[in-house]
């Protein structure tokens, strides 16, 4: 049995996140794919959007495949969310399963800063989606380093997508353009909850950055 973990803050989830998970699904062909919104991610400031609301927005991922499910496990734990703890939970929940962890290119380059990263490598294969054109050499060098430490790194062919959750929250991407970047269900939750309503929007010509 193959179990794929796809985590993130998802504030909000956008089509770039959808592309990354789609690519990981195609690469791994898992029996279960678990989308895990973080409680408080250790590498970012705490999200101002409540966990249950981010969880509701993550329903967009289930449209990709019947194997996709959304879990509130990290949100329910409270405090900071560490991937190693989530993988330990999944190992107990699915004894004997092959675990896979989806990571973006920026996360792979800084992977050795993660808590108990060596233990993560022992528990799960990494599935990397390249987010920027031209970062292949740096990614393969990072992969070789992690593989020398006992890990296994797979590369998924994800289309680079010019969008960042922060650009949506702050108005760098104007609301009038959000239909290009957000799944319908995400926009519905944003409207219903009145999210990101206090932002100042920038001109349409402003180029959004890649998701970090």
State the CATH number of the domain containing residue 77.
3.40.50.620
CA–CA gap between residue 68 and residue 34 (Å, rounded): 6
CA–CA gap between residue 107 and residue 43 (Å, rounded): 10
Q: Are 25 and 56 in contact (CB under 8 A)?
A: no
> Which pLDDT value is given to residue 199?
53
Does some domain include residue 143? yes
pTM, rounded to two decimals: 0.89
Which of 46, 50, 57 has its CA nearest to residue 17? Answer: 57
Does some domain include residue 87? yes
Does some domain include residue 184? no
Does some domain include residue 58? yes
Question: What would the two tokens of residue 70 be?
Answer: 């959304």
For the chain, how many structural domains are there in total?
Answer: 1
pLDDT < 70 regions, the chain? 41-46, 130-134, 198-212
Q: Which domain holds residue 113?
A: 2-161
Does some domain include residue 173? no
> Which pLDDT value is given to residue 137?
85
CA–CA gap between residue 29 and residue 4 (Å, rounded): 9
CA–CA gap between residue 195 and residue 49 (Å, rounded): 8
Does some domain include residue 187? no
Instruction: Say what the alpha-carbon torsion angle 177, 169, 22, 121 is, to the nearest 10 degrees.
Output: 160
**Total number of residues shown for the chain:** 212
Question: What would the two tokens of residue 147 be?
Answer: 């593989």
> Which pLDDT value is given to residue 207?
30
CA–CA gap between residue 74 and residue 197 (Å, rounded): 27
Does some domain include residue 212? no
> Which pLDDT value is given to residue 204?
35
Helix (H, G, I), strand (E, B) or coil at 48: coil
Beta-bridged to residue 157, according to DSSP, are none
* 21 Cβ neighbours under 8 A, 6+ residues apart: 6, 33, 35, 61, 64, 68, 102
> Which pLDDT value is given to residue 160?
74
> Which pLDDT value is given to residue 210?
28
CA–CA gap between residue 99 and residue 72 (Å, rounded): 19
Q: Are 100 and 127 in contact (CB under 8 A)?
A: yes
């Amino acid at each position: 049995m193959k179990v794929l973990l796809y985590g993130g803050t998802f504030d909000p989830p956008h089509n770039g996140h959808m592309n990354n998970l789609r690519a990981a699904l195609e690469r791994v062909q898992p029996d279960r794919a678990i989308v895990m919104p973080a409680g408080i991610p250790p590498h970012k400031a705490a999200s101002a959007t409540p966990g249950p609301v981010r969880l509701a927005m993550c329903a967009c991922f289930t449209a990709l495949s019947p194997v996709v499910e959304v879990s509130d496990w990290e949100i329910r734990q409270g405090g900071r969310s560490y991937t190693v703890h989530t993988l330990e939970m999944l190992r107990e929940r699915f004894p004997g399963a092959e675990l896979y962890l989806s990571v973006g290119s920026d996360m792979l380059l800084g992977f050795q800063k993660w808590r108990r990263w060596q233990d993560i490598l022992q528990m799960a294969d990494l599935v990397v989606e390249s987010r920027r054109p031209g970062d292949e050499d740096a990614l393969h060098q990072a992969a070789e380093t992690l593989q020398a430490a006992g890990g296994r790194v797979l590369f998924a062919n994800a289309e680079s997508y010019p969008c960042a959750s922060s650009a949506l929250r702050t108005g760098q991407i104007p609301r009038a353009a959000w239909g290009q970047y957000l799944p319908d269900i995400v926009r519905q939750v944003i409207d219903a909850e009145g999210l990101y309503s206090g932002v100042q929007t920038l001109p349409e010509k402003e180029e959004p950055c890649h998701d970090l």
